[in-house]
Structure 1
Amino acid sequence: MSVSNYDKFPATTLSGYIRLGWDNILPEFERLIRSHGPVLAVETYVGIHLSEIVEALRQLAPDLLLQTPDLFKTTSDVETMTQRFVTDDPIFGYRSSLTLSDYLDEKKVAEIEQLLRDTPDRTAVIIGPGASLVAPPFAPIIYADLARWEHQQRMKNNAVSALGIDIRDTGFSNQHKRAYFNDWPVCDAHKKTLFDRVSYWLDTHVPTQPKLIDKATFFEGIERTVNKPFRVVPYFAPAPWGGQWMKEMFHLDKDERNYGWCFDCVPEENSLLFDIDGERFELPSINLVFLRSRELLGEPVESRFGQEFPIRFDFLDTMGGGYLSFQVHPTTTFIKDHFGMSYTQDESYYMMEAKKNATVYLGLKNRVNRDAMASDLRRAACGELVFDTEKYANKWPAKKHDHFLIPAGTVHCSGPEGVVLEISATPNHFTFKMWDWGRVGLDGKPRPINVERGLQVIDWNRDTTYTKNQLFNVISTIDEGDGWKEERTGLHPNEFIETRRHTFSTKVTHRGNGSVHVLNLVEGEEVVVESDTQAFEPFVVHYAETFIVPAQIDQYSIRPWGKSIGKTCMTLKAYIRF
């Protein structure tokens, strides 16, 4: 496969209202104050660079400029309030049930509310998480939103405080844990209540380059996106085991040491781009899930998962790299009881590319000695020995287009010289690393090991015989016709995701059957996705691009396009079983 035309900035195209730069945005804020009253609420997601927006708002010269963190409870109170969700564990917490109102000091808020009532002509701008809870009901709302991927970059740079508490000096792992289990759920729950009230949306993903769109443009972008196939914006990250394939294939920064991950369909974390008259506007793609879950997911999927996108696609690149950690994912019972999550991270490895010596560890060997394995894992975690992975786990040769199924409780690990398309359920934080080859993370510190948790969730019946019969290339032909074939490639019966592989040199018809579809072009340079009823414009997809087809699109077709015409292509499709 030659270098891909992989699009790193896919966008929904539309016309609408957009303003660039503070010089063009602030006059709109002034107009809002003049036309709607003297108080303006600027809501912000956690991770926003509050100082930049505050300095810009000072140019409005309001009589009162309030930052909601100044109205929060004390750091000590926030620590006490969130402790049961954040916990003392270095990685894992428990899903929060707090609201933004819980952060506000009632006495401080009451004083501000009284001040605004006593001086009704005084201009006031209230900014920060929960600004709309402090402002009067008539106050117009601006929302400064942020995608989780960008928040994580800022955490890595120790650039932003957490919600109500400054933990910038505690390391990325601790910051991410608080965000994942507490701050993101709290801010998301509040944002869901505001969509119909927000007058303008503010994009500050790129510092000092703000962009503003109005409510009508925001919803036009949402509607256009959910009525066609679309892609979210991929983001790439290095890893201790990362490789070199994506760097070349996707035209990435060659100065970066490696790229281990490509997250190209994780709507909880990815961005969505609107191309508004030639200008890009960035927002979290999860907004689409919150606003149009039924149209996007399908009614049966929404009834099961609510406003969550349950399918996750990403790449793991070890070409010229190393082994991933030897790991296992928790069972549904364990993840629910210990972390408050409703479903777990079942997954699979689809081999996108593989050199001759590529391998995957999957499942335990027959008649493995549990006590000996547990002892060796514990001793390895203490540095007393090098864990002999091949003594206990199956090491399988891996070739291009192999598919390894990994239901929760199965030990696994991808080896060097491969590129894995990882297809999984969405909870992506719950990996119990039991052995990490004695290395350190990119920060120079040992990566957290979870031997004891891992031992609690291992399914010891997943041995060589079981793995060979049920987890490795369980592929069967479903249907075929002139120039096309559909195969079932899994997943395991324990997993709620179904995968189908289509090999084709001509048009193939797909039917939605009530579920959102997530697909990747795993072979071929480019294809086109079309509607036989012209319900959406033709959508071109390049090699290795992941795309989403909303459930409300009942039928669509895919055929080779451009350089692939006359050649054989292949897609891998995932959807939810009923």
Structure 2
Amino acid sequence: MYNPFPYDDPRAVNRPQLPAEAVGAVVSGTLEAARSLAAELAARLEAAPGKSPVAAFDGYATADWSRMINLLSQQLLQRGIALEAVDFREVLKTEEEIHALIDPLLEWDREKDPTLLYGRIFRGGYEALLDESRAAGFRTRIAGLRSSEGTRRVVVVYGSGCLMPRMRDLYDVRCYFDVTPKESILRIRRGEYANLGDRTARPANQVIRRCYYADFEMAVHLRGELLREGLLDYYLCSDHPDRLELIPRKALEQIFAALALYPFRCKPVYLEGVWGGTYVKKLRNLPDTMRNCAWVFDLIPMEVSVVVEAGSERLEFPFFTFVQREGEALMGAKCVEKFGGYFPIRFNYDDSYHSTGNMSIQVHSGAQYNHDHFDELGRQDESYYVVVAGHHARTFIGFRDDADIDAFIRDIKLADKEYKPVDYLKYVSYEDSKPGLQVMIPAGTVHSSGRNQVVLEIGSLTIGSYTYKLYDYLRPDFDGKPRPIHTWHGERNLVRERRTSWVRQNIVQQPREVRSGEGWAEYIVGEHDLLYFTLRRLEFERSIEDDTRGRFHVLTLVDGERVRIRSLDHPERFFDAEYMDMVVVPADMGRYVIENLRAEPICVHKTMLKDGFDRE
């Protein structure tokens, strides 16, 4: 997600029934949160005279502690208590030493990576960034500050990584400032963040690239440990520095546990693109200032957030924060074990409706390639389900039976180097698009979503994004520069055997009935040994019942206006979904029903893990 549009969709709000105790414990507003923390810290000081309480402010990459520290200082001084703020960056290695650790993991060869997108995961964590001498001095300094003989003082240590295991024993109060993925990227683009250890920021795309392979990676793993082990005293929703929400750990856990009992929807992220269309922009009343809407990240696990209504407040968390705390209830124990705690399927829309052209011809890499080249977990399989199709819409998939693939590779390289157009229809096969067409795209399959359609894209687990554009019609990007082409990686991932005949026998399937009854039926629309998830369509007039049986379902209303997804055992637990909304049904829900809230026939696309996914 390199360039999200700065828009907050107001519709994606979840309203689980929360314990009154949890709702009442939430402190809304930065000043109010500072007052609350000041009162607790002052009480600790009074309870142990001569011992300064020490608080830790850790947080996700791009977290900003400055306003809270200043307001906390003001509140404490009104009580006659001084605040000593200690920047945890003081214990880190030098900028040059950190670059020497991380930069070799990033790709700098523009022949392989024209826009410097890729790298390898930094596995050292915050621990590897510590200067041991400075770390020892830091511990000595905090011990000295803790002794407050003759001084009424509170100490706050702030900075990413300050709650790492070896430092936790130093703190009396532990706080975590979380930031949603979209806001993190926007802060980088606004110039509000330099990579950890850097004195000043590099170009925005390079900052983001290093975040994906290092800064975000470190933050995610530490946050998960703190949440799973219940090590925090307070969690703060900190997207908006002027209106933070301070949530005690017990209240946070109650809120997450309640949400995991309900069907829920994530808050989408919208992105423009040169091939972007107009359908979703009109459907969801996106701002006029958007040039178009190419990608709709409705459920990209590492990129979206969840909004929960708590009394009069709306609390926004990164979706993966919720996953890290409630993984088993949400996904099931086998899924958590198989995929290392990550949500294993991602969902978005690609909108080229009434656009200027096709998506680029592209290919993705598989698990072994991702591991060998990027030290990355997961393969990048995809699938397209056509939701909307205009005149002459096409879905490109596989090579033609008569394609000369060597010639195709030569042509795309010439297009990249010498700006020569490619007659791609000589090489790439396609299916005529119509609503309901399901195309599976195992890693290595050449493909593209054509002009004048909206597809529901469903893919396998990838933390990063490994899309290798092979041909992009010689068009410039919004900045006027040619769009980058990735033939080096692309050529090494193309599976040449996937031609028209193979495609139509294997990954473009006719629906086959699974079960049916009066006024309802379930069909498999896509399932293959190369993908670990199964793609279904539910068709009904009034309602249809289902059962998660310990595996999460993701439901998308692809035809119809409004449905209610409701637990059968607990009817008060429901979510009302509108056209093209995506809803997660947690693994622990069990039996549920989808009810038509209007009069027209309904089609719901259902995705779930296949039987035996954990043995693949």
The reply to whether TM is greater than 0.5 is: yes
Corresponding residue for residue 132 of structure 1: 163
Deviation at 1:136, TM superposition (A): 4.2
**Are 1:48 and 2:56 counterparts?**
no
Determine the C-alpha separation between the residues in 2 that align with 1:225 and 1:257: 35
Q: 1:145 aligns with which of 178, 182, 188?
A: 178
Q: How does 1:232-381 map to 2 (within 5 A)?
A: 232-321=266-355, 322-381=357-416
Q: Which moved more, 1:462-471 or 1:63-72?
A: 63-72
Contact 1:45 1:145 in 2 (8 A): yes
Q: Which moved more, 1:61-70 or 1:525-534?
A: 61-70
Q: 1:407 aligns with which of 429, 442, 445?
A: 442
Determine the C-alpha separation between the residues in 1 that align with 2:474 and 2:321: 40
Deviation at 1:64, TM superposition (A): 1.9
Q: How does 1:212-251 map to 2 (within 5 A)?
A: 212-251=246-285
Q: Which moved more, 1:321-330 or 1:534-543?
A: 534-543
Deviation at 1:11, TM superposition (A): 2.3
Corresponding residue for residue 14 of structure 2: 11
Deviation at 1:305, TM superposition (A): 0.7
CA deviation profile, 1:139-165 (whole Å, cap 9, x unmatched): 211110012122122223333112222
CA deviation profile, 1:450-481 (whole Å, cap 9, x unmatched): 10211111111111111122222432122221
Deviation at 1:388, TM superposition (A): 1.8
Contact 1:274 1:280 in 2 (8 A): yes
Q: 2:85 aligns with which of 39, 47, 65?
A: 65
Contact 2:405 2:427 in 1 (8 A): no
Corresponding residue for residue 433 of structure 2: 398
Determine the C-alpha separation between the residues in 1 that align with 2:424 and 2:65: 48
**Are 1:456 and 2:496 counterparts?**
no
Determine the C-alpha separation between the residues in 1 that align with 2:255 and 2:489: 43
**Paired letter, 2:271:** A
Corresponding residue for residue 418 of structure 1: 453
Determine the C-alpha separation between the residues in 2 that align with 1:458 and 1:362: 12
Determine the C-alpha separation between the residues in 1 that align with 2:480 and 2:528: 37
Determine the C-alpha separation between the residues in 2 that align with 1:240 and 1:164: 35
**Counterparts in 2 of 1:459 and 1:155: CA distance versus 1, 3 Å:** same
Deviation at 1:68, TM superposition (A): 1.7
Contact 2:194 2:202 in 1 (8 A): no
Corresponding residue for residue 555 of structure 1: 591
Gapped runs of 5+ residues in structure 1? 1-5
SS of the aligned residue for 1:216 comes to: helix
Determine the C-alpha separation between the residues in 1 that align with 2:66 and 2:421: 48
Q: How does 1:145-184 map to 2 (within 5 A)?
A: 145-165=178-198, 168-172=201-205, 174-184=206-216
Question: Identity of aligned pairs, percent?
Answer: 26
Deviation at 1:66, TM superposition (A): 1.3
Deviation at 1:135, TM superposition (A): 6.0
Contact 1:85 1:182 in 2 (8 A): no
Determine the C-alpha separation between the residues in 2 that align with 1:426 and 1:504: 31
SS of the aligned residue for 2:163 comes to: helix
CA deviation profile, 1:213-240 (whole Å, cap 9, x unmatched): 2212211110011111111111111112
SS of the aligned residue for 2:85 comes to: strand
**Paired letter, 1:337:** D
Deviation at 1:303, TM superposition (A): 2.2
Gapped runs of 5+ residues in structure 2? 1-8, 45-51
Determine the C-alpha separation between the residues in 1 that align with 2:478 and 2:411: 26
SS of the aligned residue for 1:263 comes to: strand
**Are 1:80 and 2:100 counterparts?**
yes
Determine the C-alpha separation between the residues in 2 that align with 1:217 and 1:443: 46
The two structures, once aligned, show a CA RMSD in angstroms of 1.9
Contact 1:39 1:136 in 2 (8 A): no
Corresponding residue for residue 27 of structure 1: 35
Determine the C-alpha separation between the residues in 2 that align with 1:410 and 1:167: 41
Q: Which moved more, 1:206-215 or 1:441-450?
A: 441-450
SS of the aligned residue for 1:193 comes to: helix
**Paired letter, 2:32:** N
SS of the aligned residue for 1:327 comes to: strand
Q: 2:502 aligns with which of 451, 466, 478?
A: 466
Deviation at 1:94, TM superposition (A): 1.2
**Are 1:200 and 2:234 counterparts?**
yes
Corresponding residue for residue 108 of structure 1: 134
CA deviation profile, 1:491-527 (whole Å, cap 9, x unmatched): 3320001011011012211121331111101111111
Contact 1:12 1:275 in 2 (8 A): yes
Deviation at 1:58, TM superposition (A): 4.1
Determine the C-alpha separation between the residues in 1 that align with 2:558 and 2:569: 27
Q: 1:98 aligns with which of 104, 121, 124?
A: 124
Corresponding residue for residue 3 of structure 1: none
Q: Which moved more, 1:72-81 or 1:99-108?
A: 99-108
